[in-house]
Structure 1
């Protein structure tokens, strides 16, 4: 545990919290899902606060896309591997045999659980400093002048990061003839109470606009 704590940049006063954060539900007894729930919320708060102040002139849609990029499972799993988290995970026999210590979802969830445990023991200021240190390079690579992803991809990644179902698109109507056709589509997702509606010169363009509406 000492090696892992050195990698994390935080030494627990009581390692019970760290051990619980590393315990997957496949292992017998208490597991880390409650800590993961807490850590996910803490991570979102800290990242959102940092982005809000780092990009004062950027609208909420772009900030949401930046946040989704930073907190998506793949990004968290990459950080967990960098910290050497996998070899410290406490897994049930089935997960160990199937290579669960390398699975993105388990690594990302365990990292969030560790953040939850640190928050409970040391408070928001300490966990904020830790998250800022872990992700400083990623924060600095964000560029407000560029749209990193097209709107459909950005929406999909954002929903995945939030644990929501993927969006669905449907062609509502087609108007005009030949090269003057216009297409109206809907995009249904949990971000909006009613489907977003948009039109364009092609179905693809209309879908991009509808996805952008969902992110706005």
Structure 2
């Protein structure tokens, strides 16, 4: 590793609050296959770590849900976990810790906007989780994940996000008449890695609900939820 790369990785350590014993493992977690393909001297990339990190992340979230939400059954716990570890959720966390700034990607991938692709960022985050697990153990990986995801898990567990209100709104309107539903972006604010979106849902051209979220999908769900409330729909049914 070059001196500049070592300094970059040390900056990243400060952001995530984890000190690596073996810095090369973190470097590997932040090396995309496109970068390795363009540099013959680099033999490895982060896909194997991504594979491991997926399982470690699932274990951490499952354990947290199992211990904290003793009243929820297996099916509900599975749906909550799926919502938390989905690509949009992980890419959101990846942007918060600025993985897009520190990941090494190939020039071709860079030109096609790879540094901002949800899939690439989510995969890199899983690789970082695996790197922490390998370097410092399960508890360190768990502390890292929960430090950034615990609030999200709890919000989803309270049905604030994981309920599919968009589908409920669509189904409700289809039973009554053919309506045109449209979601419009009203505003976008905040830093590139920590944006807040405001979405408005229109039914036949009329504003029916608004919602804010850390992703467009989250804001759309909250806008749909507000529309359902405005229509007098019982959301507990």
User: What TM-score do the two structures reach when normalised by structure 1?
Assistant: 0.66
Stretches of 4+ moved more than 3 A in 1? 142-148, 150-153
Q: Which of 111, 124, 142 is the equivalent residue of 1:110?
A: 124
- 1:48-95 alpha-carbon deviations (Å, 9 max, x no partner): 000111110111111011101110010000001011110111111110
Match of 1:186 in 2: none
Match of 1:8 in 2: 16
In structure 1, distance between residues paired with 2:57 and 2:154: 17
Q: How many residues align structurally?
A: 153
Whether contact under 8 Å (2:80, 2:157) holds in the other structure is no
In structure 1, distance between residues paired with 2:129 and 2:98: 15
Gaps of 5+ in 2: 1-8, 37-42, 168-237
Whether contact under 8 Å (1:12, 1:18) holds in the other structure is yes
In structure 2, distance between residues paired with 1:106 and 1:148: 23
In structure 2, distance between residues paired with 1:23 and 1:125: 24
- RMSD (Å), alpha carbons: 2.0
Q: Which of 8, 21, 32 is the equivalent residue of 1:24?
A: 32
Give 3-state SS (helix, strand or coil) of 2:54's partner: helix
| 1:62/1:151 CA distance change after superposition, 3 Å | farther
| 1:151/1:44 CA distance change after superposition, 3 Å | farther
In structure 1, distance between residues paired with 2:15 and 2:71: 35
Whether contact under 8 Å (2:30, 2:46) holds in the other structure is yes
Q: Which of 34, 38, 41 is the equivalent residue of 2:48?
A: 34
Q: Which of 142, 145, 170 is the equivalent residue of 1:128?
A: 142
Whether contact under 8 Å (1:55, 1:144) holds in the other structure is no
Match of 1:62 in 2: 76
In structure 2, distance between residues paired with 1:35 and 1:96: 21
Whether contact under 8 Å (1:73, 1:104) holds in the other structure is yes
Whether contact under 8 Å (1:119, 1:126) holds in the other structure is yes
| 1:100/1:137 CA distance change after superposition, 3 Å | same
1:87 equivalenced with 2:101 (yes/no): yes
In structure 2, distance between residues paired with 1:109 and 1:23: 11
